[in-house]
Amino acid sequence: MPKQPLSDEKLYLYAIVSGLDGAVLGPIGLAGGTVYSIASGRVTAVVSRVSEKLRPERRHLAAHHDVLKRLMAETDAVLPVAFGIVVEGRSAVGEILSRNRKAALDTLRRVTRRVEMGLRITWDVPNIFEYFVDTHPELRAARDRFFTGHREPSQDDKIELGRLFDRLLTEDRERHVERVEESLAPYCVEVKRLKPHNELEVVNLACLVTRERQEEFVAAVFKAAQSFDNRYAFDYNGPWPAHNFVDMALDLEPTRPARAGAHPSADGRRGQDGRAAR
């Protein structure tokens, strides 16, 4: 066991879990720190000591994710904490667990033996606007009306064309996400729609899946991909702790709330990723 931290030592908080009372996970934390647990009743905080000011660098994000991945293997329920939460010593950790015990237990029950799987679908085309011109006669007619001949399109013409493109983009996304959700719903406890990252992204889903049904979920993704043509790329990822299904304001102290469940960074995600063949 690591020695008791001194009152002025800072502890980095990775997650709240059920069980693991007194467990030591070894030197896998930020800057090689020893990761261990501090329990209070039926909830446990997973921490390591830190001395430097933390920045969201790739190495720190990777270490944070590695600890969460290890916790998923060691326990049935993980309540991930957003990157960068540092508290002042063991007694402060105990106070946090005490203040948040009921909310933490309720949330842990919700995600017990469940993981998050992600699915992103993108248009695999060189130019998304030209693809929509080719596949949507309404947009093609508007483009030709404004941009053919020798007349220079006005700013209002460009705005109108942009609005039409945005509407068609939204309508296509809605149609596709409903189609994919229908295929995946039998294998998910819950599905959450996430905001697309860019114009090429068609669907961005977070899916809460029981651990025993992960293979069925992946098979369903491949089956759904086969119903789309080669202009769509399917990429699934996971398993992760249920970041997008944990919406709990972690009460660190009266003037310093933090979000539990927030994913540190999409770039920091590391795990099993897959591209579904069409």
Q: Burial letters for 37-59: b for 16+ Cβ neighbours within 10 Å, e otherwise? A: bbbbeebbbbbbbbeeebeeeee
Q: Could you give the CA distance from residue 199 to residue 177 in angstroms, rounded to a whole number?
A: 15
Backbone angles phi, psi at 7, to 5 degrees: -60, -25
Do you know the residue count of the chain?
278
Residue-by-residue pLDDT tens, the chain, 278 positions:
444 444 458 999 999 998 888 889 999 999 899 999 999 888 999 999 998 778 888 999 999 999 999 999 999 999 999 898 999 889 999 999 999 999 999 999 999 999 999 999 999 999 999 999 999 999 999 998 888 766 778 888 889 999 999 999 999 999 999 999 999 999 999 999 999 999 999 999 999 999 999 999 999 999 999 999 999 999 999 999 999 998 777 777 644 556 666 665 544 444 445 666 45
The reported pTM is 0.84
CA separation for the pair 58, 67 (Å, rounded): 14
